[in-house]
Amino acid sequence: MRHWLTVQYPRLRGDQSPRKLQVWLQDGRQSAAGSLSVGDRVLVYETKSGPSERHAEASGTKRKIRRVRGKQGIIMVAQVSRPIRRDSSEQPRDYDDRPLALWCWIAPLSLVEAEGFVPLAHVNRVLEYRPGSTLRGFGPKASGLKEITATQYAALVELFLKSAAGKDA
């Protein structure tokens, strides 16, 4: 079993659909998943912000949709439930300030624990990143997915569970 951290944007404003439990990778960056396998453990980190998206209106004009403010920390512990695959139903995302991105490589996850939180400062300390790092460009090919050590995973899960129990991290 391997251990991973995936970095994800917060949801778009007005999006009331349940969060899809999966690892997302952009087309062309799927090699970052390397040995990601069913049964592997994944920590899901939500960024503080993310790019706005442009959505086409019926009139043909595009409307800019911003994101809600994210939690900026680990928000759940999950497990890979199915192998990574290309989802041909995914459409390119039209970002306001960057090129189109096709997030079509997915690995479905099953929830292990969602009651807890690990703030960015603690994530940086455990991963031995500099204080103030925002995890921008995280993982190989800036994929948003990176394998972490079993020791790092255990330390982050311990902090996550302590926060759920109301104890200081």
Q: Measure the CA–CA gap between 39 and 41, rounded to whole angstroms.
A: 6
pLDDT tens-digit map of 2-42:
999 999 999 999 888 878 899 999 999 999 999 999 999 99
Say whether pLDDT at 66 is over 80.
yes
Q: Measure the CA–CA gap between 163 and 39, rounded to whole angstroms.
A: 25
**Residue 52 belongs to domain with CATH number:** 3.10.590.10
What SS3 state is found at 19? coil
Mean pLDDT score, 45-51: 95
Does residue 116 fall inside a structural domain? Answer: yes
pTM above 0.75, yes or no: yes
pLDDT tens-digit map of 83-140:
999 999 999 999 988 889 999 999 999 999 999 999 999 999 999 999 999 999 999 9
Which structural domain range is residue 13 located in?
A: 3-163
Instruction: Tell me 115's DSSP state.
Output: S
Which residues on adjacent β-strands are paired with residue 132? none
Does residue 168 fall inside a structural domain? Answer: no
Q: Measure the CA–CA gap between 80 and 16, rounded to whole angstroms.
A: 24
pLDDT band at 168 (very low <50, low <70, confident <90, very high): low
Does residue 141 fall inside a structural domain? Answer: yes
Does residue 169 fall inside a structural domain? Answer: no
Residue written as token pair 């706005």: 52
Please give the tally of structural domains in the chain. Answer: 1
